[in-house]
Amino acid sequence: MRVITGSARGRRLVSAEGMDVRPTTDKVKESLFSIIQFELEGRNVLDLFAGSGQLGIEAISRGAERAVFVDSSKKSVEIIKQNISLVHFEKESSVVFSDAFSYLALAKEKFDIVILDPPYHKQLCDKAFALLPAVLKETSVVICETQSDEALPEKVASLEIDREYKYSSVKLTVYRKPEKTEVE
């Protein structure tokens, strides 16, 4: 696992081992950041279900101003901190040891980009979506990585599915505020 591009390009990251671990592949990660490449510069990113922190780290490497990493596993939090240190992003990062739902219920901060990569087939995106409005800005983008056969709601707060991208067994669902169309 490595940082694909940006200021930390090529740096190797640590990942947890075990049956419950499913790091985002380089192909899916590259696609995710291609989708939001022009929306990252100077933005505030929330990496929910952060795992190793690779998605938030990639966002900072590509120009995000700051990332908050949230995970409920003590081991994952340790790995996230280790990875942040490896790429020297301590100033741009905050790591929170909490389940995503408690964090969302108590968060005071608003985010431009929210990335959710929860364990598959546990309806955790749906549960998080109910709490997301409190942390979204008017122009936020939400991206959820799921198994390709998982169904997600059409709307999250004022956001709607903009597009879905499938990569073998993985799906990225992108939510954005719908563009207003003029009535003729």
Q: pLDDT value at position 19? A: 43
Cβ(64)–Cβ(42) under 8 Å? yes
Tens of pLDDT, residues 11-31: 888 887 654 556 777 788 889
Q: pLDDT value at position 181? A: 53
For each of the domains in the chain, give its residue range(s) and CATH number, in order of start. Answer: 26-176 (3.40.50.150)
pTM above 0.85, yes or no: yes
Tens of pLDDT, residues 73-115: 999 999 999 999 999 999 999 999 999 999 999 999 999 999 9
Q: pLDDT value at position 157? A: 84
State the pairing for strand pair 155-156/93-97.
Answer: unpaired
